[in-house]
Amino acid sequence: MTKESKPHDDALSHGMGRRHFFKLAAAAALLSGCKVTASTTAPTAMPPAAEDFSQVAYCGIRCQEACPEHAYPTLCDGCKSEGGKLGSYCERCAIRACASERVVITCAHCDKYATCDAEEWNKFPMLRRQIEEIRQELEG
């Protein structure tokens, strides 16, 4: 197995279908300001036990794994960065603004998540599914 195919193989071994894999990658690219390319990689479907959420965006995207241009951390420090380099979408992302204001680790950790109506959840339903998976893992 080549190094380039590993994220895809890991994603499939965690039960993520090919379609879901590419949808998450596309959402990550759009939110981070990256261009989607044929070599797109995506985060794994299930968060590992005792996950370190420092490199997980508020919306559940695993920055280091998700950016198809590998902009993290050379061009973007992730949406949790205060004063660092941000992707083009970070400044106008309602999810980032709300989560930063509430000082939560991710939206999965927010007690107001169930009533959140940020338009990004409707534009990118795969992000909502990602947060739901993290919430289930946190509860389990």
The model's pTM: 0.65
pLDDT tens digits for range 3-54: 444 444 444 444 445 555 556 656 665 555 554 443 334 444 444 445 789 8
Which domain, by its residues, includes 26? 3-139
Would you list the DSSP string of the chain?
--GGGHHHHHHHHTT--HHHHHHHHHHHHHHHTPPP-TT-----SSPPTT--GGGB-TTS-BHHHH-TT--TTTT---TT-SSS---TTGGG-HHHHHHHHHT-SSGGG-TTGGG---HHHHH-HHHHHHHHHHHHHHH-
What average pLDDT does range 55-79 have in this prediction?
81
pLDDT of 35 reads 45
* Spatial separation of the C-alpha atoms in residues 140 and 134, rounded to whole Å: 10
The number of folded domains in the chain is 1
pLDDT band (50, 70, 90) for residue 85: confident
pLDDT of 12 reads 40
pLDDT tens digits for range 94-122: 999 999 999 999 999 999 999 999 999 99
The residue among 99 and 87 whose pLDDT is bigger is 99
pLDDT of 59 reads 94
What average pLDDT does range 72-88 have in this prediction?
84
